Amino acid sequence: QTVVTQEPSLTVSPGGTVTLTCASSTGAVTSGYYPNWFQQKPGQAPRALIYSTSNKHSWTPARFSGSLLGGKAALTLSGVQPEDEADYYCLVYHGGGQGNWVFGGGTKLTVL
């Protein structure tokens, strides 16, 4: 069974920069895995931030960016704001033409 791994928790200072990563047990994450990133705050539905590695939605703040880094998908927040404190999940496609999307376990980002 495919496992997607994220850092369980990260802490960043306001105004700082932090990178969250997303690794697959099947090997290097490439653009063909079409990684997505989501933000979830307590009591709310997840909100999409990034799709297909690096594409932003119209509502995605400019300080969020997606990329591939060292065989992993990455989400970088530059100039972190207090309101960025949330859980972040990646979602990667593992091919086969079926619904084989797998979520990571999530990263709890604390802004302190």
Question: Does 48 help bind other proteins (rule: CB under 8 A)?
Answer: yes
Spell 94-111 as b/e; 16+ CB within 10 A means b.
Answer: beeeeeeebebebbebeb
CA pair distance 74, 68, nearest whole angstrom: 6
* Residue 72 Cβ vs other proteins, minimum distance, rounded to whole Å: 17
23 binds other proteins (CB under 8 A): no
Stretch that binds other proteins, among 13-21, 22-30, 75-83, 92-100 (CB under 8 A): 92-100
Answer whether 18's CB lies under 8 Å from 109's CB: yes
Nearer to other proteins, 34 or 76 (CB): 34
Q: Does 67 bind other proteins (CB under 8 A)?
A: no
- Asked whether position 46 contacts other proteins by CB under 8 A, the answer is yes
> Using CA atoms, how far apart are residues 89 and 48, in angstroms rounded to an integer?
9
Cβ atoms of residues 57 and 96 within 8 Å? no
Return the residue of 13, 25, 41, 57 that touches other proteins, per CB under 8 A: 57
* Listed residue (52, 46, 53, 59) closest to 87, CA to CA: 46
Where do contacts with other proteins occur on this chain (CB under 8 A)?
Answer: 34, 36, 38, 45-48, 51-52, 55, 57, 89, 91, 93, 97-103, 105-106
